[in-house]
Structures are given as C-alpha cells and as structure tokens.
Chain A
Amino acid sequence: LAKTTQPISMDSYEGQEVNITCSHNNIATNDYITWYQQFPSQGPRFIIQGYKTKVTNEVASLFIPADRKSSTLSLPRVSLSDTAVYYCLVGDRGSGTYKYIFGTGTRLKVLA
C-alpha cells in the first residue's frame, strides 16, 4: 500500500517561496500526482496536477523527479491567504485493487 508522507507543518513569511514535498513510494504507474489546498471546514480545492518533470500554472509549480517517488509543490511569494493545509493525492494499485491515497497533509502558516 502506498505511503504518502508530508511534513506536518511549515511556517513562512509573506512574499517568500514555499516548497512542500510529498513522498509516495508506490504510486500507480500511469497515475498523475495531484495537490490540493484545504481551508478549515471546507472541501479540498485543486491546485495543480502533473505526471513527470515540471508543471506550472498561475498559482503553483510542481516538480516530479524521474522515479516519481516524490513530488514538490512550490508556491511562489505566499500571502496570508495561503495559510491552509496542503495535501498530495496519488493512486495506488499495490494491493491489487485501485485506491486513492491522500498524503498526511502539511499545515502551512504564513506570517506577516
């Protein structure tokens, strides 16, 4: 079964770049890696998705090494409103049946 681990928490100051890494040792071969943002008492919200190398959109970048056993979400110039919990999501076929595995979540606190 895939284990997806993330740092429990991170603090950053406004305007800094934040990098959050997720380790996923048993990701399904053809699956993408997806990152979500969650505010208290709300459903997770999509940030970015990628399969390999680097993907960039208007809010974040995602770096995925060749072995795909980890991924790094990069948030450029964070603001106070980026304070949230960030999760990676991968698919796992290790036990014979397909299932989705969320990472343990990283609580990001952005300080003024």
Chain B
Amino acid sequence: DSGVTQTPKHLITATGQRVTLRCSPRSGDLSVYWYQQSLDQGLQFLIQYYNGEERAKGNILERFSAQQFPDLHSELNLSSLELGDSALYFCASSLGLAGVGEQYFGPGTRLTVT
C-alpha cells in the first residue's frame, strides 16, 4: 500500500459526459501528479501540482483540467469524454518538486467510455 488513495476504482460513462477523479496523497507529500495509461500510448504524464500550484504540464488535453486543494487532495476533471479517453488514470505523490525523489503511485481509476 503506497498510502495514495484514488476514487473511484472504476468508472463507466458515456461519450460526451464529464467525470471527476479524486486523489489523496500520502500524508506529508506536497506534490501530486496525474498520469494516463492506455494500451497504445503507455504511461503519459498529464500534470503536476505542488502545494496548490501547477508546476509541470504534459500533453494534457484542453478538455481535461485538474486542481489541488488546500488540504492537498487533487481532482482531475475530464469533460466531453471520447472513446479514446478510456484508460487507467494514476495519481502519484511525492514530498518535493521535480526530478528528485520517489513518486508513490495510487491504485488507479479505470475509466471506460462507451
């Protein structure tokens, strides 16, 4: 158990809908990262927040947005969902900023868009 929690574990929704994925980091960790894992794209970095501020950004679609709240939990919002958004979404956390230090990954949320 990494100490990172993600809810829900599974999500099935229809195209065009909007969903919110939730992540609680390990106690004491200030950074939260979001990744998408699909069969054809591998593990793709979406975005990182550190203590409430956006610090790094990957190839995150404009239909996706995220935020980190004062209690350090984070939410990833996915809107106007398409079939291709079906994937495993992982949240990770770490104590510090970029580059140094282990990222602890949550169990993931499996999103299925039908």
Contacts and interface: CB of A to CB of B under 8 A. Distances in A.
B64 interface: no
B70 interface: no
Contacts, number: 67
Contact of A100 (B2, B45, B88, B100): B45
Interface residues of B, number: 29
A104 B42 CA distance: 7
B107 A100 contact: no
B104 interface: yes
Interface string B38-77: 0000111100100000011111000000000000000000
**Interface magnitude class on chain A:** 20 to 34
A104 B44 CA distance: 10
Majority DSSP secondary structure for residues of B touching A: strand
Given A97-B56, A99-B56, A102-B44, A46 B102 contact: yes
Contacts of A44: 43, 90, 92, 103, 105
Interface in A13-57: 28, 30-32, 34, 36, 41-46, 49
Interface of A: 28, 30-32, 34, 36, 41-46, 49, 87, 89, 91, 97-102, 104-105
26 contacts: A28-B98, A28-B99, A30-B99, A32-B99, A32-B100, A32-B101, A34-B102, A34-B103, A41-B88, A41-B108, A43-B2, A43-B90, A43-B92, A43-B106, A43-B107, A44-B92, A45-B2, A46-B104, A89-B103, A91-B98, A98-B98, A100-B33, A100-B45, A102-B43, A102-B45, A104-B42
